[in-house]
Amino acid sequence: DAGITQSPRHKVTETGTPVTLRCHQTENHRYMYWYRQDPGHGLRLIHYSYGVKDTDKGEVSDGYSVSRSKTEDFLLTLESATSSQTSVYFCAIMGRQGGGYTFGSGTRLTVV
């Protein structure tokens, strides 16, 4: 499968603390995405990147920031975690034309 890894796989953090999730790809894809998955909502786009230092907001970007300093790494930061940010976070890269996105295995984040 495409080389895309997320870290950590699981994290428990306290309300108000900063948290950074990492997505790393070895496919040299230009586009990278961060989604969150919640029951009843499916996957919702948080932020995406279309190149180094080029990022844009998705439909649920409030409370999140991202950075892309290298093609292979896309970081998602929760500046001050809240309980509403408890979710499973997926990173994705755009696959071959017509092939949709390739997703990482996800990070389960719990904010207590």
For residue 67, the cross-strand partners are: 75
> Which CB atom, from 14 or from 98, has the smaller least distance to another protein?
98
Tokens of 36: 């969150």
Answer yes or no whether residue 97 interacts with another protein by CB under 8 A.
Answer: yes
Note the helical H segments in the chain: none
User: d(Cα 75, Cα 6) in Å, to the nearest integer?
Assistant: 10
> Which CB atom, from 57 or from 63, has the smaller least distance to another protein?
57
> Which CB atom, from 41 or from 70, has the smaller least distance to another protein?
41
Asked whether the beta carbons of 89 and 34 are under 8 A apart, the reply is yes
Task: Give the shortest CB-34-to-another protein separation in angstroms.
Answer: 12
Residues that bind another protein (CB under 8 A): 31, 33, 35, 39-45, 48, 58-59, 90, 92, 94-95, 97-106
